[in-house]
Structure formats: structure tokens, C-alpha cells
């Protein structure tokens, strides 16, 4: 596996060229990385109009992930989500609909909400029957089939894995979507590494269809990864930086081999619609070098760390911890049964100089990769095992419920708004999502009337101020 972007930049660095171009540091090291930080000079190619070293590197990534096309983002999965929704909007228009309709799991990232609003997409929210809190929305294949039968959306949009490590049955869901002429779009931001975690199963299986069941049984020996593309998703985004050895901001937009020709031809246009015209070559070099790592030792390293984390999880369960989620390299503790809120558990670990990914009143979430050292894992293990178990906290998680939309999300975002305390927001119309990242999953959607239930949810998750539409409510 070659690394064309890294090679070009290193050759340019060694030339000691006179830099009469951006960036302003001119290659003079202050942080120590400036000499590798370039712009789109002659020979460096152009992201989203690539026909040189960037395209060569993206083609390398496409071969690794088994896609028709994989494109780089230096602005995270957020850029890829916007691009995917833009492509769905284009797809709807080619089918004679001026407004795209998407059925989406309610735990969608706030970028999905704002992008759907700006593109004036009609969103039908799907809610989970299990009460797992704000960041989880477990949707079965049957849930998806019911939603498609009811609304006939252009696409189904799900988040898998979610923040708690729950992985959807992408194969069955994709088969159902495609049988009904519907696209499946997946926010796989947390799951780039799933390309190297394997299942002995067939892609695209749907237990409703006997013939497909038989085909699945015959191909049971087929070794497939848990990545959404391998199980029938039409498009997905991966935040490479979340689980792969990539700098923050590095991400992929994946287009599957069976996806519409429109997606393959317009993907660069879709990304360019929302992207900076000054992409980071440092991040692109990181994505480029990741190709070499993924094609060589990374799969074996990933398998080894998965075994180590499975052992850690077994010890924690024996000690009385309640663990949830399906991800091999994510540890999610449902902490109340152990006598602590998730935020309290995070504070306990912080005392040991351990910083975790996410915590809220119910969960503490930790993420591992092959670059997690044995010493760090041992320290975490001992820290958790040394925490004294207390009486379980008997406090229900507030249910995220369907809100009442009094205006469109676009109109709410575009309206004049004011910042008010949560106590003063009841009866008002939410103007913009009121949650930061992590977890970036809004309690309510722009344009919805805030009622006593949603206000209670905001308070539960520690959100004290909201932006509401002026003069309404």
C-alpha cells in the first residue's frame, strides 16, 4: 500500500522551497508540524476535485473498505452527514419529489437535524420502545418495515453504533429497505474500526424472506466485517479519527457498490457544497498513512485488543458492573445499578487521571483502540475494580417522546431567537438544538413546542439554557 499524499508532502518539505503561498507560517516550526502543513499547490491535487495524489489515496481507502467510492473529509463526519442528506435530496428530485422524505432514528446527531432543516427535508422521527435514554434508539428490522409501510420514505437513516455501543442489524434492515425501494443511510461515525471486527454471517439477510434465509445459511462460512457497507448500506460516514489512528477531523464518506449512480457521480459536489476550500493536508496525510496501517498490521492488532477488552468486560461483570452495548472496543457501564451516576463514576476515574469519552446520569462510556496500551487498560481495570459498590440508584430515565412541531425546523432555525433559562422555556418553540458534543443528540427538535416533559429531560441532562423563537409560544 503506497502513501501518495505523505510522499508528496515529505518531498516538498525536503526541497526547502520558497513558500510564496498559504499557510502564513511558511513552514517555520512552532508546534513542530508546520513544515508538513501545505495548501493546494502545484502537484498537491485538490480535495473534492481530485485527480492526482488525493484520488490515488482515496482509491486505496476504497479498496480497503470494499466500496464503489470512498472520499475524504477533513471536517469530520458532520460534513459527510450534510453531504449524504444533500445526495438524498437530489435522489428524491430525480424521482419527481421536490422534498425528500427521510425516516430517522431519534438519536440522530444534531448535524443531521440542522442539515435536514437547511435542505428542507421532511423527517419522520422513529422512536425506540426501550427506555435507554437520550443517546440510544434501538430500532429493529420490524420497526423499520413498519415505518416504510406507513410513510414510504426516500431513505431510512440510522445511527449505528450509537454512543452506548449498540449495533443495529444492518443486514436485515438493508434488505427490507431495498425490497421496498428505499435507501439505507448509516451514521457509522463510531464504527470505522468495525471493518476489522468480523462476523460469520451473510450480508443483506432478511428473516422475513425464506429464500434469503436459505442463501444466508449456505453462505454461513462467509467471513464479513461488522461495517455497514458490508451489510448493505447504500451510504455511510465514518469518523476515522474516533477509532482509527487518524488526526481529529479525518472522516470518510462511503458509497456502496450497489448505490445509485447519482451518488457516485455527485458525491464530490455534495461534499464541496458544505466544505471549506482550505482542507487540512495534515489530516489528509493522516488518512493516507492510515491506509498503509489498515492494509498491514492493524487488523491483527484490532483482533488482539478485542480479546483483551472482552477479558476486561468479563472481570467487570463478575464484580457486579452492568455493561451494555455490542461494540468490541467500547465499554459502556450502566452505572446506577452499581450505585453511581455515570458522571460520578467519571469523576472517580478522573481522580486516577483517567479521562473517559462520555458520561451522563446513567452511563459512563470508554473507547479503546489497538493504540490503547496494556498499562493504561490495567490502570482502568484496577480503578474500576477498586470502586466500592453501593446501593443501586432507583431513578428512572426520562423517556424521549415525540414532540409537537408548531413550525418547520427550517423556519425555527431562521427565526429571530432569544436565550432563556430552561424554567422559562416551557410552552416556547425551540429555535436550535440545545446540546453540545458529546453526545450532540438533542432532547427536542427545532420547531417543536417545549412541554413539561421535554423541560424535565433538559434538566435531567444538565442543560440550563435554551434558544427559543422570539414572540411565539
pLDDT tens-digit profile of 393-435?
Answer: 999 998 888 889 999 999 999 999 999 999 999 999 999 877 7
Q: Which residues pair with 425 in a beta bridge?
A: none
Residue 200: predicted pLDDT: 45
Specify the pLDDT at position 221: 40
**Mean pLDDT, residues 258-279:** 95
Angle of helix 76-94 relative to helix 261-274, nearest 10 degrees, comes to 130
User: Is it the case that residue 202 has pLDDT exceeding 50?
Assistant: no
Apex 239 CA angle, 236 and 240, nearest 5: 115
| % of the chain with per-residue pLDDT over 90 | 87
Q: What is the pTM of this model?
A: 0.92
pLDDT tens column, 31-65: 999 999 999 999 999 999 999 999 999 999 999 99
How many angstroms separate the CA atoms of 169 and 140, rounded? Answer: 7
Residue 440: pLDDT band (50, 70, 90) is: confident
Q: Residue 137 pLDDT more than 70?
A: yes
Amino acid at each position: 500500500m503506497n502513501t501518495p499524499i505523505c510522499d508528496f508532502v515529505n518531498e516538498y518539505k525536503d526541497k526547502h522551497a520558497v513558500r510564496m503561498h498559504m499557510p502564513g507560517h511558511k513552514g517555520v516550526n512552532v508546534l513542530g508540524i508546520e513544515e508538513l502543513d501545505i495548501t493546494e499547490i502545484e502537484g498537491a491535487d485538490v480535495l473534492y476535485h481530485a485527480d492526482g495524489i488525493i484520488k490515488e489515496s482515496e482509491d486505496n481507502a476504497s479498496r480497503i473498505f470494499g466500496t464503489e467510492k470512498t472520499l475524504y473529509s477533513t471536517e469530520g463526519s458532520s460534513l459527510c452527514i450534510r453531504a449524504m442528506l444533500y445526495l438524498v435530496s437530489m435522489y428524491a428530485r430525480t424521482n419527481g419529489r421536490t422534498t425528500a422524505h427521510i425516516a430517522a432514528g431519534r438519536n440522530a446527531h444534531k448535524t443531521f437535524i440542522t442539515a435536514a432543516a437547511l435542505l428542507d427535508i421532511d423527517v419522520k422521527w422513529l422512536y425506540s420502545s426501550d427506555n435507554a435514554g437520550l443517546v440510544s434508539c434501538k430500532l429493529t428490522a420490524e420497526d423499520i418495515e413498519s415505518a416504510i409501510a406507513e410513510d414510504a420514505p426516500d431513505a431510512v437513516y440510522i445511527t449505528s453504533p450509537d454512543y452506548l455501543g449498540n449495533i443495529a442489524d444492518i443486514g436485515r434492515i438493508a434488505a427490507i429497505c431495498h425490497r421496498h425501494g428505499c435507501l439505507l443511510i448509516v451514521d457509522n461515525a463510531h464504527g470505522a474500526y468495525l471493518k476489522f471486527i468480523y462476523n460469520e454471517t451473510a450480508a443483506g439477510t432478511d428473516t422475513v424472506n425464506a429464500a434469503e434465509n436459505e442463501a444466508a445459511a449456505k453462505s454461513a462460512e462467509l467471513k464479513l466485517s461488522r461495517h455497514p457497507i458490508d451489510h448493505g448500506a447504500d451510504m455511510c460516514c465514518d469518523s476515522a479519527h474516533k477509532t482509527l489512528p487518524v488526526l481529529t477531523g479525518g472522516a470518510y464518506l462511503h458509497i456502496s457498490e450497489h448505490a445509485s449512480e447519482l451518488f457516485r457521480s455527485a458525491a464530490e459536489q455534495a461534499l464541496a457544497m458544505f466544505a471549506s476550500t482550505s482542507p487540512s493536508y495534515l489530516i489528509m496525510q493522516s488518512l493516507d498513512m492510515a491506509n498503509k496501517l489498515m492494509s498491514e498490521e492493524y487488523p491483527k492488532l484490532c483482533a488482539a485488543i478485542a480479546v483483551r477488552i472482552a477479558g476486561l468486560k468479563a472481570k467487570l461483570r463478575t464484580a457486579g458492573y452492568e455493561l451494555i452495548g455490542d461494540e468490541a472496543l467500547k465499554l459502556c457501564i450502566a452505572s446506577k445499578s452499581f450505585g453511581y451516576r455515570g458522571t460520578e463514576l467519571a469523576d472517580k476515574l478522573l481522580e486516577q487521571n483517567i479521562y473517559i469519552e462520555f458520561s451522563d446520569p446513567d452511563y459512563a462510556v470508554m473507547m479503546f483502540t489497538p493504540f490503547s496500551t496494556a498499562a493504561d487498560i490495567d490502570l482502568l481495570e484496577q480503578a474500576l475494580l477498586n470502586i466500592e459498590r453501593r446501593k443501586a440508584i432507583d431513578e428512572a430515565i426520562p423517556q424521549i417522546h415525540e414532540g409537537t412541531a408548531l413550525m418547520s425546523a427550517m423556519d425555527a432555525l431562521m427565526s429571530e431567537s432569544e436565550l432563556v433559562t430552561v424554567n422559562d422555556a416551557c410552552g416556547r418553540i425551540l429555535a436550535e438544538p440545545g446540546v453540545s458534543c458529546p453526545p450532540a443528540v438533542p432532547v427536542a427538535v427545532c420547531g417543536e413546542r417545549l412541554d413539561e416533559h421535554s423541560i424535565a429531560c433538559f434538566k435531567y441532562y444538565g442543560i440550563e439554557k435554551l434558544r427559543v423563537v422570539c414572540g411565539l409560544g
